Each structure stands twice: as structure tokens, then as C-alpha cells.
Amino acid sequence: MQNIFVTGGAGFIGCNYVRLLLEKHPNYRVIVFDKLTYAGRLENLQDVAAVYADRYTFVQGDICDAQMVEATIQQHDVDTIVNFAAETHVDRSILEPDAFVKTDVFGTYTLLEAARKLGNLRYHQISTDEVYGHIEGDQRSEEGDKLHPRSPYSASKASADHFVHAYHITYGLPITISRGANNIGPYQYPEKVVPLFVTNALNDQRLPVYGDGKQMRDYQYVVDHCEGIDLILHKGEIGEVYNVGTGQEMTNLEMVEILLDELGKPRSLIQHVEDRQGHDRRYCMDVRKIMALGWEPSHTPEEAIRATVRWYVDNRWWWEPIRSGEFRQYYERVYGNRKVLA
């Protein structure tokens, strides 16, 4: 395995993974294939382009474009595909599901077809704990559980997982799938809750907590997730699914309190607002299968939140221009008329 095609590599998790891949495997070449939507940003990879110029190539393209995908794979003699490319924000999927079906479902199918036609390439799919849907009580999702997606985003991701699995069963494509819990860390677009709240707080703006804020999430550090993906790519059993997360959960309100504490900002910035439609109350995964492969996270959720806060404090150059562009119209659309709860 030497020539790795990383789709969505200019996004949040993708760019962290590209860094890890190039650092960890000095004999690998990485071809990032990314459409550069609002979430894909070349500045996420500017250091990579400078340090690894001889082993790193960037190609702007859409994973739904079969011709371009196949031509790029052939041109660079690709032997492995790792698919991060997706529309990823639940709130945007509620507003406009169309792009989610196109990229997350049809785009995945396009990559699978290319992998099959061009010599049964090794294929790894980046999936999410959201495909399991809301998890009751103190239960944990296991890899063999039935999928119960409840948002247009998670329905698209679950559909993609089914296609990936079907290509393994039908055509013998050598696939693996990882299902990650909530990632936080450097380069996450500030529509997602942790960077949104850090950057709002740094601007002394209110933090719009959906509903009662007692929803449970497993906030994992993005680099830990990337280590897990790399392990699965190299040591995972073909045809298998692996959950990746800390296995520790906290409420959104607990997350906000840690975040404000790290910033030294007052709790009065918290503002409860109308809940997200169809909001999944709790995700929680059983992560014993990936731990048995030899992985464990280096950060607890609290350490991950504190490290993320410090990155945003130190990297205003990265997020200030974002918050002054397309993001403003998006923010107005989602939060402008949102009911404030008493």
C-alpha cells in the first residue's frame, strides 16, 4: 500500500488524517481529492503542502464525477481509497438534504464503482455513530446493531454504509468501515458546536444551547480518531466495522461549562434556544472491538475540549475570516429567528 487517495482531505478530520498519514508512513504518497465546498479549505493543508511537497498532491474534484475520480486514480496509480468526503452538518441536512444524498450516497457509490473497476482497491469508509440513532438508557451501540438513522445526514451516511458492505459481499471489495463519535480539535468549521461556542464566547456572543442541553455526546479528540482509522486501515479485518470513540459521555451543558471555564468566560453567556428538529438525545458506543486491535484514546473528552479551546484561542488567523464570510448568512438562517427559551 503506497498511493493513498484521501477524499475530503481538505476538511476537518481529513486534513488531520493526511498529516498523520504522511508523518507516520514515510513511503506513502497521498493524493487529496476534494471539491472544496464551504467546509473544505486549502489553508487546512498549507503546512502539509510545504513540508511534504514530494509526496503530497492536491486535486480539486467531486466524488460524484466518475470520470474524474477514475482518471485521477489511474494517473496516480492509487491502491487505497479512504473516503472522508461528505456533507457533514446535521442542521444543514435539515435545511437542505439534497447535497447530502448526492455526496454521501451517490458519491460513495461512485468511489466504490471506481474501486471495483480499477482492480479491487482497498477501501475504507469513514462513518459515524449517528447511523445507530438515539440510544436509550445506559445501552451502547455495538458494530452488529441494526441502523436507525433519524436525520437526513445520518440516513445518507447509513445508506453509504450499506453500499460499502454490499460491495464487499457482492464483489469481494476489500473494505472496512469506522464509525466515529463526535470529533473536536484543530480546523473544525465553526458551525459545529464546540468551535461555534468557543468562537462565539471569544466574541462575547451568546452560546445557543439547543433545548435543555442534556443531550449526551462522546467528544473525542480528532487525532485520536485519526490514529484509530489508521490502525483499522492497516490491521482491521476486511469486511468489518469498528466503532471509534472514548466510550465516555457527557451532556452538552457539561461540555459548555468546561469550555467556558477554560476560556475564563461567564456562564451567563449560555442561552437555551429552540431544540433541533428530531434531535438525537444520546449516542454512546461500545468501543471494545477497536481497543482489542490495540487502540486507545490519548485524551479524555474533557482534555479534548480544553485542547480544542486553546487551539481556537491561538489560531484566530484561521477562523476569523471564515466567520466573516458564507458563515454569516448561515448563522442568520439557523439562529436568526430561533425562539429563545425561558
User: Which residue number, 8 or 208, has a Cβ lying nearer to ligand DAU?
Assistant: 208
User: Which residue number, 103 or 200, has a Cβ lying nearer to ligand NAD?
Assistant: 103
Considering only residues 13, 73, 114, 155, which one is a binding residue for ligand NAD as defined by CB under 6 A?
A: 13
Q: How many CB atoms lie within 10 A of CB 192?
A: 18
Considering only residues 159, 178, 215, 246, which one is a binding residue for ligand DAU as defined by CB under 6 A?
A: 215
Asked if residue 128 lies in contact with residue 157, where contact means CB atoms within 8 angstroms, the answer is yes
318 binds, among ligand NAD, ligand DAU, none (CB under 5 to 8 A by kind): none
Does 253 contact ligand NAD by CB under 6 A?
no
Does the annotation count 326 as an active-site position?
A: no
CA pair distance 312, 187, nearest whole angstrom: 9
Considering only residues 210, 311, 318, 330, which one is a binding residue for ligand DAU as defined by CB under 6 A?
A: 210
Q: Which of residues 90-109 bind ligand NAD (CB under 6 A)?
A: 103, 107
- The two counts, helices (H) then strands (E), for the chain are 14, 13
User: Which residue number, 5 or 52, has a Cβ lying nearer to ligand NAD?
Assistant: 5
Binding mask 111-140 for ligand DAU (x = CB under 6 A): -----------------xxx----------
Asked if residue 58 lies in contact with residue 100, where contact means CB atoms within 8 angstroms, the answer is no
Smallest Cα–Cα separation from 283: which of 151, 85, 152, 99? 151
Does the annotation count 153 as an active-site position?
A: yes
Asked if residue 189 lies in contact with residue 14, where contact means CB atoms within 8 angstroms, the answer is no
Does the annotation count 96 as an active-site position?
A: no
Residue 52 C-beta-side C-alpha neighbours within 13 Å: 23
Adjacent-strand bridge partners of 177: 125, 241
CA pair distance 337, 284, nearest whole angstrom: 32
Q: Which three cell numbers stand for residue 337?
A: 429567528
Tell me the residue type at 161.
D
The active-site residue, picked from 52, 109, 132, 153, is: 153
Smallest Cα–Cα separation from 151: which of 220, 89, 236? 89
Considering only residues 21, 30, 193, 198, which one is a binding residue for ligand DAU as defined by CB under 6 A?
A: 193
Binding site for ligand DAU (CB under 6 A): 88-91, 128-130, 181-182, 192-193, 196, 208-210, 215, 217, 252, 276, 283
Positions touching ligand NAD (CB under 6 A) are 7-8, 10-14, 34-37, 39-40, 62-64, 84-88, 103, 107, 126, 128, 157, 180, 182-183, 189
Q: Which residues are catalytic?
A: 129-130, 153
